[in-house]
Amino acid sequence: MSDSIDKKLVRHVAKLARISMSDAQATAMGSQLGAILSYFDKLKELDTEKVEPMAHPLDFTNVLADDQLGASLSCEQALANAPQRDECFFLVPKVIGDSQ
């Protein structure tokens, strides 16, 4: 596998992460990401046929909290760093629909 991923893929990933990128940055990112991915190609050489997939590197399970009310922030605290607000709402550029 080549050491660089193509610019189209870089742009796709950047778009998913909502990152804008100049042409020069996309080229540079292509070779940097390519180097990282080629390391994963190295890992792929290992035979993992008989290895169970790992859900978590730590060996804990069932870390659960009781359903007891705790402290929340006030809306003033919550909005303290908001670039824009409308009373107690966060204000963002117009979006269409809901995520779900």
Partner 1 sequence: MTTTTADKITPIIGMEIHVELDTATKMFCRCRNRFGDPPNTNVCPVCLGLPGALPVMNRQAVEFSMKAGLALGCTVSAFSKWDRKSYYYPDLPKNYQISQYDLPLNVGGAIEVPLADGQVKRVGIIRAHLEEDAGKNLHDDPTSTKVDLNRAGTPLLEIVSQPDMHSAEEAGAYGRAMQRLVRWLSVSQANMQMGHMRFEPNINLHIEREGALYKTPIVEVKNLNSFRSLERCVEFEIQRQYAQWRQDPNYTLEKLGKENRGFDDVTGKTVFQREKEEAHDYRYFPDPDLMPVVVDEAWSGRIAAQIGELPLPRRARYMQQYALSFKEADALTQDAPSGNLLDEAVAAGATAKRVTNLLLGRIAATANERGCCLAEVGITAGQLAELAKMMDAGTVSASAADRVLVEMIEKGGEPLTTAKALNLLAVTDTAQLEAWVDQAITANPEIVAQIRAGDKKADKARGFLMGQIMKLSAGKAPPAQAKAMLERKLIG
Residues between 22 and 61 with contacts to partner 1, criterion CB under 8 A? 55-58, 60-61
Is residue 89 near partner 1 by the rule CB under 8 A? yes
3-class SS of residue 38? helix
Question: Using CB under 8 A, which of the segments 2-10, 15-23, 30-38, 40-48 binds partner 1?
Answer: 15-23
Q: Output the six-digit token pair for 8.
A: 């189209």
Q: Which is nearer to partner 1, 24 or 95 (CB)?
A: 95
d(CA 48, CA 62): 27
Tell me the C-alpha distance between 29 and 23, whole Å.
10
Query: In the numeric block, which tokens belong to residue 84?
Result: 């824009």
Q: Which residues bind partner 1 (CB under 8 A)?
A: 12, 15-18, 55-58, 60-75, 78-79, 84, 86-100
